[in-house]
Amino acid sequence: MALLVQEYLDRIRAEHADAADGALADYIPELARVDPAGFGVSLSSSDGFVYESGDAGVEFTIQSISKAFTYALALDRIGEVAVDARIGVEPSGEAFNEISVDETTRMPKNPMINAGAIAAVSLIPAGSADERFALIHDFYSACAGRRLDLDVDVYESEKATGSRNRAIAYMLQSFGVLDDDPDEVLDVYYRQCSLRVTTTDLARMAATLARGGSNPMTGRRVTTSAVVKRTLSVMVTCGMYDAAGDWVSAVGMPAKSGVGGGIVAVLPGQLGIGVYSPLLDDKGNSVRGVRLCRSLSEQLGLHFLAVSRESRAAMRAVYEPLEGVRVYETHGDLSFCGAEQVVRTVDREMRGFDVVILDVSRVDDIDDAARGLLSGMSKILRAQGKTGYVVDPGGIMTDTEAESDGVRFRTVDDAVAAASSR
Amino acid sequence: MALLVQEYLDRIRAEHADAADGALADYIPELARVDPAGFGVSLSSSDGFVYESGDAGVEFTIQSISKAFTYALALDRIGEVAVDARIGVEPSGEAFNEISVDETTRMPKNPMINAGAIAAVSLIPAGSADERFALIHDFYSACAGRRLDLDVDVYESEKATGSRNRAIAYMLQSFGVLDDDPDEVLDVYYRQCSLRVTTTDLARMAATLARGGSNPMTGRRVTTSAVVKRTLSVMVTCGMYDAAGDWVSAVGMPAKSGVGGGIVAVLPGQLGIGVYSPLLDDKGNSVRGVRLCRSLSEQLGLHFLAVSRESRAAMRAVYEPLEGVRVYETHGDLSFCGAEQVVRTVDREMRGFDVVILDVSRVDDIDDAARGLLSGMSKILRAQGKTGYVVDPGGIMTDTEAESDGVRFRTVDDAVAAASSR
Amino acid sequence: MALLVQEYLDRIRAEHADAADGALADYIPELARVDPAGFGVSLSSSDGFVYESGDAGVEFTIQSISKAFTYALALDRIGEVAVDARIGVEPSGEAFNEISVDETTRMPKNPMINAGAIAAVSLIPAGSADERFALIHDFYSACAGRRLDLDVDVYESEKATGSRNRAIAYMLQSFGVLDDDPDEVLDVYYRQCSLRVTTTDLARMAATLARGGSNPMTGRRVTTSAVVKRTLSVMVTCGMYDAAGDWVSAVGMPAKSGVGGGIVAVLPGQLGIGVYSPLLDDKGNSVRGVRLCRSLSEQLGLHFLAVSRESRAAMRAVYEPLEGVRVYETHGDLSFCGAEQVVRTVDREMRGFDVVILDVSRVDDIDDAARGLLSGMSKILRAQGKTGYVVDPGGIMTDTEAESDGVRFRTVDDAVAAASSR
Amino acid sequence: MALLVQEYLDRIRAEHADAADGALADYIPELARVDPAGFGVSLSSSDGFVYESGDAGVEFTIQSISKAFTYALALDRIGEVAVDARIGVEPSGEAFNEISVDETTRMPKNPMINAGAIAAVSLIPAGSADERFALIHDFYSACAGRRLDLDVDVYESEKATGSRNRAIAYMLQSFGVLDDDPDEVLDVYYRQCSLRVTTTDLARMAATLARGGSNPMTGRRVTTSAVVKRTLSVMVTCGMYDAAGDWVSAVGMPAKSGVGGGIVAVLPGQLGIGVYSPLLDDKGNSVRGVRLCRSLSEQLGLHFLAVSRESRAAMRAVYEPLEGVRVYETHGDLSFCGAEQVVRTVDREMRGFDVVILDVSRVDDIDDAARGLLSGMSKILRAQGKTGYVVDPGGIMTDTEAESDGVRFRTVDDAVAAASSR
């Protein structure tokens, strides 16, 4: 039944699949020769279930997406106060590779630009560059739920072409932001940027943040919810684009992109998303990746200012009034995430009963994405020889076929009666 | 039992009560002669329950807080596309009363600065200034759940001293942003700013946004969730301070302040907050109001990037295994909002039973604010002659007195057995 | 013999005559219907001699060029200290009609933008708007050396379309920069902008500044050299373009343009220049006017950082060693301005003698423009039946025909001997 | 008689001698341990005569003053077009050591900030760092008229502490502005900054610019007038302070300062000025040096927009109507520079005659500085047993003692008659 969500994902991805605008990053040969047609997306629910569409298995380098995670690691290791003494949290309004240091504080404006990211690397406490990279490597891998590999070619190319970053690192040293040797810090930074991920890795890393620091697949707590809250806060205002207002309005998910073509986006408490398409706009963001994030947000209602209340929805109670008859009582506002949870639960539990009664009588509101999922669920149940009833006195599922085939009831008792008299 | 939350609120307010820094607004005499000691706060839960502390009944003029609501009304009436054609959504980085028009688009940068707010007034479709104000007045009143009054003295003073706003209005006219007569638009704007509110009004207006556009007290749907989502998005990046990054990191609630001393803050899906203290900082924000918002966020865990997952917690099931014995099964992460919901439910239902069993065995995490509330609940139950048991196999309520007096059990069965053998 | 300079001027003007890019100002109908082909230039020497080329007699409205002169008048009337308390002297980096007020001082950044110009109008001490305009009108007319006329149509159109300027005026009032009624001040401002001038008027107004405040034609002292020094200083950094560095480097003359198509440029101590061509670039500067200024500076060596030393050149002594033989002894560096002075003096005095000996033996350096003028002079002398000798032991006039026809001598004595033996 | 100018200089220097505000540069130990009381000034006339006051013989490192001269050398060697392709000419509005690269062009904004200065070094064509430094060293020395020495300690300290400059150099490399090895370019830059000069050296270097590229002492042409014109243009808008408008208005001399405490200022065609006082303001400019420049400009009328016309003044003719009687005929406007020229000429020629007649009947205007000098001249002449007469029909020398002792005449003939009848 995961197929239902899958269909959504495939359809939204397909809307953008034909676009071919944008250009490959070309400052190093490794990035310039990837397949420009690559296009994948993965969604991880906060309990670790992953949907994939397109090139979700293709590996690419994480690049600047790493900034969010190294910042989280720095916060985890030395605490907010110590990190805040070296890196700000305000948008920079500048291109990602400018030297953006706050005039007054002499600190990088935020950890999502190179200056702040290099500073963040230097804040990871370690006795050597190798040890520092090992900590970073472990942290990313714990978020992804598997051991990530280093792309040695990319690492070496990055290192060979990095005069901009050397400029930044020396500037930071001159401002007293960087205590360690600039070249050693940069070496770790280049390694971190060269770790290879798939969109599914990114989705799991995002879901780890969405879950407040626990990897939903492995169950391992990677960092604290306080670290995650701060990291997501900074992603909101500094993660994507200069135009933070537009991103918050239109997408409403903390996010971070990389020139490798990846984007990670987090719907706190709900979802982790990973996207890949290596054709970049002139700001270095994946062209199709950005569009896909917008479409996902719009069509699935994934916006952090919208989901909170709806997230209380989903299942209020589950019970079996009769042998073989199971009632799923939902309430609140039903949006994509809630409906996905219902659908997947039913899917998982379907084997043990014959009749599923979906009670939406306490649901206040339902959006199209949720209605589509639940409506699809009835259809699949029937296809598998089960009976699916809907208790919908207010007709909020109207316009769906549920209504048309006599499976809609005004009360649970009516539905149970119908079930018992089958 | 609302007393428990009340105590939290009183204590946090008391932390800031003695502060006397900041200054009254003095550009009009009416603002300069209010009582500088005034200090109140109100919280409305998303289901309409209101907590008050301090001068929650004192009326003051809404001033710039109105900007958020007129923007919402404009979105409601003419739609996002039409509003976006006249008002941007990006932070301006400028003081609230500067003429801040985007160089490229020639539009006000956002609706939270005067330029954008004046433009928003002009977008409310109406045949006359009076009609336009009536629509605004009705909308605010519907959000607050009562008819708001106009402070005629403030209105007339504002009107008499407004050369800055006339400058802004003429500038907007010259850029083609303002179609109507500048002086007529300003007249409506001054009236809107001069509406009188209490912190409880603000809390209800905020809760209406927190609820996605339905007033939790009256149940009336005031606007759509899409309008609310957009309004809150803009409040996130443009509502308070130039330093959006700091506000998002430290407070994490869309908010808006006014020179009358008020601040409105919204925890989407959860809470509406209204604060009042007329002593302002040099940016025109209430000094104690800002501090109170920070403390509320920190101490009660009210942060929009933190609550989502926790909000799914609270009650998973409520049932009565025995006559007079009621089990409240909680799950997920328990934070202030979830615990408040539990406490208030128990309070409401307490009369009909003797034993309350709070089952936290499925709770993943609990913060101090929630632990304090639940621990306080046990105490009050006992004080009223009831019995309060806690099922807490993992000891997450440890450090509370619950443990010390033999009311802690490993399973619900154990607790029920104990209850039946009393 | 003025023909020599005339030829230069005509030739340089001709280089740009065919250009037709740019667009007429169209914010009022009067500006939109002028002849786009109009193109004139006038040069006034600091002693009042005027050269004209092209449409030097066409009248157009002075527009923003007026800003420089009203600023001068304000300085003249109330002094630098009082003016500096209301108007800054720093470049604004903004378009001419933006509201550009310094964030810290709350004053217009400089008098060459609208905000500063409107403030300057308000600083002219007068009992009424009419009196104020009369002072301005008198001042401009005294600089031009004739009574300037008001273009009533332009004035009325400007007044009818001025919401931008009303915005600016109200903003200034709100900052305490403008004491008087904004609309009355604007009325004077629109009248000042609507005064009609020709390029010859502009050249004379410029020459009045070049002469330190004395009109070279009328001999009347219009203002003090201190006022002129300050006015020219501000024109250097704020007069033309945002790109002050480029203008100073490439043109090197304090200048000011107007949307009427005029440009005024001053070579301190030397020349006043007026240019007219109504096709404007996107910053509102005359396209051909700007190019002409560049060419004049390059080809005639008119740059305020170049002329100083050369200006000491020109005639060191004039004497008649024999009846009918006159020696013009020049020294220093000879550039256009010095050579022009020599040529014009010879022209004026030519009637009384038969032989002119030009002694360049003390000249250190000579540029092409000067060499061309002096060489041309010899030719004309001969054409009028006079004899022109050059004393040029170092051969600095080489490459000219002077050398080729046996009129070049090593010493004045040799030349005088030759003259006496004719 | 040079004493007269000397007195002016001493008096103006004395006005600021007691000031002790500001702080020594302390980023390297060598700068932190110089005598903070050091305070000297030198003036070189454009014909090479030098006045000195205070610590004019103390050597200090040239530091950023070098930027102007290396820029001139780059222009001299590869031409404006090639230099303009790498370094802009616009003010940066930023502190001297920020990385200030134009967003659009990716070039340093101007050659007076570190980024532009480092780029300028790299543009000097040479086969090695040593050769490049040799060219720079030779050029500076030719401007100063003596071989300048390198302060090896400062050079080594600069080199050891230069992470900011390494940042800048790597940034330039990344933008394609710097072709050579960053560290080699910086090595030359540090050497150039560590050359030792006195205020007299600076005055001579400035006078070389004032003379259009010829060293007035040695007579050697060091560069072309076109190079000088461009260099001075850039010094006008970018040389001192962010506040170019204020510097042009108040001082009106192209200038450049260094953290060694020196300032060089140029009055084109007239004077070169060198100042030294190592106590710096927070922008790195010499506190007393800046004040001294302002006072010199105000009190001696040294402003590049004021001198041009006056510079034509000074001596129009010198002749001896009688044996032992010499007439100095002056004309135009008499300011400090012209009067200084007169005074020094008389001083030099005094031996051969008994009566000096100063004819000011053709002088249009005279300022206080000039009046003081000429008045002082009469006094000194008399003190040496000579007779000094003034022909001053208009009484422009009034208020001086000249009038009081019967040495003032209406015509030269009257004065000559008086001289012959002594």
Q: What is the pLDDT of residues C285-297, one digit of tens each?
A: 999 999 999 999 9
Residue B1: which pLDDT band, with cuts at 50, 70 and 90? low
pLDDT of residue B142: 98
What six digits make up the tokens of D100? 């200030």
- Chain D residues touching residue A114 (CB < 8 angstroms): none
pLDDT surpassing 90 at residue A8: no
Question: Using CB atoms, which residue from B99, B164, B170 is nearest to C166?
Answer: B170
- In three-state secondary structure terms, D274 is strand
Which residue, among A99, A104, A170, A282, would best test binding to D if mutated, counting the most D CBs under 10 Å from its CB?
A170
As a whole-number percent, the residues of chain B with pLDDT over 90 amount to: 55
Residue B97: which pLDDT band, with cuts at 50, 70 and 90? low
Checking DSSP bridges between strand D255-257 and strand D262-267, what pairing results, if any? antiparallel
- In three-state secondary structure terms, A264 is strand
pLDDT surpassing 70 at residue C219: yes
- Kind and range of the H or E run holding D322: strand D315-322
| Residue matched to tokens 């043109």 | C251
| Residue C97, annotated as binding a ligand | no
List the one residue out of C276, C369, C297 whose CA is nearest residue C41: C276
The residue among D189 and A359 whose pLDDT is bigger is: D189
- Asked if D9 and D51 touch (Cβ cutoff 8 Å), the reply is yes
Which among D5, D41, D67, D342 is annotated as catalytic? D67
Lowest mean pLDDT among A4-18, A203-217, D260-274: A4-18
What six digits make up the tokens of C6? 């005339």
- Asked if A211 and A46 touch (Cβ cutoff 8 Å), the reply is yes
As a whole-number percent, the residues of chain A with pLDDT over 90 amount to: 55
* pTM score of the predicted model: 0.83
Q: What is the pLDDT of residues D17-62, one digit of tens each?
A: 998 899 999 999 999 999 999 999 999 987 788 999 999 999 999 9
Which residue, among A220, A237, A318, would best test binding to B if mutated, counting the most B CBs under 10 Å from its CB?
A237
The residue among C406 and A411 whose pLDDT is bigger is: A411
DSSP secondary structure letters along A203-256:
HHHHHHHHTTSB-TTT--B-S-HHHHHHHHHHHHHHSS-S-HHHHHHHT-S-EE
D421 touches chain A (CB under 8 A): no
- Among C residues 242-271, those touching chain D with beta carbons less than 8 Å apart: 243-246, 248-249, 252, 254, 267-270
Same-fold call for D2-300 versus D310-420: no
Q: What is the DSSP letter of A178?
A: -
Q: What is the pLDDT of residues B190-238, one digit of tens each?
A: 999 999 999 999 999 999 999 889 999 998 999 998 999 999 999 998 9
B2-300: CATH class: alpha beta
Q: What is the pLDDT of residues C86-133, one digit of tens each?
A: 999 988 766 545 666 777 788 999 999 999 999 999 999 999 999 999
pLDDT of residue C309: 46
CA distance D137 to chain A (A): 28
Q: What is the pLDDT of residues D349-392, one digit of tens each?
A: 877 788 889 888 878 778 777 888 888 887 778 777 888 888 98
User: Taking residues B2-13, what's their average pLDDT?
Assistant: 83
Q: Look up D170 and say whether it is catalytic.
A: no
Q: What angle do CA B267, B270, B271 make, to 5 degrees?
A: 60
- Kind and range of the H or E run holding B360: strand B355-366
Asked if A167 lies within 8 A of D163 by C-beta distance, the reply is no
Lowest mean pLDDT among A74-88, A400-414, B67-81, D66-80: A400-414
pLDDT surpassing 80 at residue A321: yes
Q: Look up A259 and say whether it is catalytic.
A: yes
Question: Using CB atoms, which residue from C110, C234, C248 is nearest to D233?
Answer: C248
C-alpha of D158 from chain center: 26
pLDDT of residue A402: 45
User: Taking residues C58-63, what's their average pLDDT?
Assistant: 98
Q: Look up C189 and say whether it is catalytic.
A: yes
pLDDT of residue A97: 52
C-alpha of A404 from chain center: 37
Q: Look up C379 and say whether it is catalytic.
A: no
Which residue, among B94, B104, B166, would best test binding to C if mutated, counting the most C CBs under 10 Å from its CB?
B166
Q: String of b and e for A335-366 (b: at least 16 CB within 10 Å)?
A: bbbbbbbbbbbbbeebeebbbbbbbbbebbbb
pLDDT of residue D371: 84
Mean pLDDT of chain D: 88
The residue among B189 and A93 whose pLDDT is bigger is: B189
| The dihedral sign for the CA sequence C36, C37, C43, C49 | negative
pLDDT surpassing 50 at residue C310: no
C171 touches chain B (CB under 8 A): yes
| Residue matched to tokens 């909101």 | A236
Asked if B233 lies within 8 A of A254 by C-beta distance, the reply is no
As a whole-number percent, the residues of chain D with pLDDT over 90 amount to: 55
The residue among C141 and B364 whose pLDDT is bigger is: C141
Round to whole Å and give the CA distance between A407 and C33: 76
Q: Which fold has domain C310-420?
A: Transcription Regulator spoIIAA (3.30.750)
pLDDT surpassing 90 at residue D259: yes
Which among C64, C194, C277, C335 is annotated as catalytic? C64
The residue among B134 and A376 whose pLDDT is bigger is: B134
B230 touches chain A (CB under 8 A): yes
Burial-class residue D150 by CB neighbours within 10 Å (0-12, 13-18, 19+): middle
ipTM of the complex: 0.85
CA distance B167 to chain C (A): 4
Superfamily of domain C8-300: DD-peptidase/beta-lactamase superfamily (3.40.710.10)
pLDDT of residue C338: 76
| Residue B158, annotated as binding a ligand | yes
User: Taking residues B78-105, what's their average pLDDT?
Assistant: 81
Q: What is the pLDDT of residues B399-422, one digit of tens each?
A: 544 444 568 888 989 999 888 887
Q: Please state whether at least 3 CB pairs lie below 8 Å between chains A and C.
A: no
**Alpha carbon separation from B350 to B231, B326, D245 (Å, rounded):** 39, 9, 77
pLDDT of residue A48: 87
pLDDT surpassing 70 at residue B99: no
Round to whole Å and give the CA distance between B241 and B283: 8
Backbone angles phi, psi at C280, to 5 degrees: -105, 150
CA distance B158 to chain A (A): 30
pLDDT of residue A73: 98
Q: What is the pLDDT of residues C42-51, one digit of tens each?
A: 999 877 889 9
Which among D53, D64, D66, D297 is annotated as catalytic? D64
B171 touches chain C (CB under 8 A): yes
Q: Look up C140 and say whether it is catalytic.
A: no
Q: What is the pLDDT of residues D144-162, one digit of tens each?
A: 999 999 999 999 999 998 8
Residue A218: which pLDDT band, with cuts at 50, 70 and 90? very high
Asked if A91 lies within 8 A of B233 by C-beta distance, the reply is no
What is the domain partition of chain C in residue ranges? 8-300, 310-420
What six digits make up the tokens of A204? 């799991």
The residue among C281 and B331 whose pLDDT is bigger is: C281
- Chain B residues touching residue C163 (CB < 8 angstroms): 170-171, 173-174, 182
Q: What is the pLDDT of residues A329-365, one digit of tens each?
A: 887 777 777 788 788 788 778 777 889 898 888 787 7
| Residue matched to tokens 């537009």 | A246
Burial-class residue D20 by CB neighbours within 10 Å (0-12, 13-18, 19+): exposed
The subunits that touch chain B, with at least 3 C-beta pairs less than 8 Å apart, are: A, C
Round to whole Å and give the CA distance between C200 and C58: 9
Question: Using CB atoms, which residue from A163, A172, A182 is nearest to D173?
Answer: A163
Round to whole Å and give the CA distance between B250 and A269: 19
Cα separation of the two ends of chain C = 24
Q: What is the pLDDT of residues C222-279, one digit of tens each?
A: 999 899 999 999 999 898 866 778 899 999 999 999 999 999 999 988 899 999 999 9
DSSP secondary structure letters along C25-92:
--SSHHHHTS-TT--EEEEEETTS-EEEEESTT--EE-GGGHHHHHHHHHHHHHHHHHHHTT---S--
Q: What is the pLDDT of residues D223-248, one digit of tens each?
A: 998 999 999 999 998 988 667 788 99
Q: Whats the size of chain C, residue-wise?
A: 422
pLDDT of residue B379: 73
Burial-class residue D351 by CB neighbours within 10 Å (0-12, 13-18, 19+): exposed
pLDDT of residue B401: 47
Q: Is C118 left (phi over 0), alpha (psi -120 to 50) or beta?
A: alpha
